[in-house]
Amino acid sequence: MQDLKENIMQDIQALIDQSDATALAELIRVGEVQPKELLEATIARLEKVEPSLNAVAETLYEQARRQVPGTGPFSGVPTLIKDLFAPLTEARMSNGSLALGEARPGLDDELVSRLRRAGCVFIGTTTSPEFGTSYTTESTRFGATRNPWDTERSAGGSSGGSAALVASRVVPFAHGNDGGGSLRVPASCCGVFGLKPSRGLVPSGPLIGEGWGGMGVGHAITLSVRDSAALLDLTSGADLGAPYAAPARPSSYLEAMGRPPRPLRIALVEQMEPWPSSTEPYRRYVMPLHCVKAWGIWSRQSICQWIC
Which of 184, 216, 194, 185 lies closest to 203 in space, CA to CA? 216
Query: What positions carry a catalytic annotation?
Result: 82, 158, 182
Q: Which residues lie across from 221 on neighbouring strands?
A: 174, 194
**108/147 Cα distance (integer angstroms):** 29
Of the candidates 6, 37, 45, the residue with the CA atom closest to the CA atom of residue 169: 45
Reference 192, options 149, 223, 170; nearest CA is 223
Phi-psi category of residue 110: left, alpha or beta, with phi > 0 → left and psi -120 to 50 → alpha: alpha
CA 21 – CA 198 distance, rounded (Å): 23
Q: How far is residue 176's CA from residue 287's CA, in Å, rounded to a whole number? A: 38
> What is residue 275's DSSP assignment?
B
- Cα torsion through 206, 212, 213, 218, rounded to 10: -60
Burial class of residue 82, CB neighbours in 10 A (0-12, 13-18, 19+): buried
The closest alpha carbon to 19, from 36, 33, 4, belongs to 33
Task: Indicate the helix (H) or strand (E) that contains 82.
Answer: strand 78-82
C-beta of residue 40 within 8 angstroms of C-beta of residue 48: no
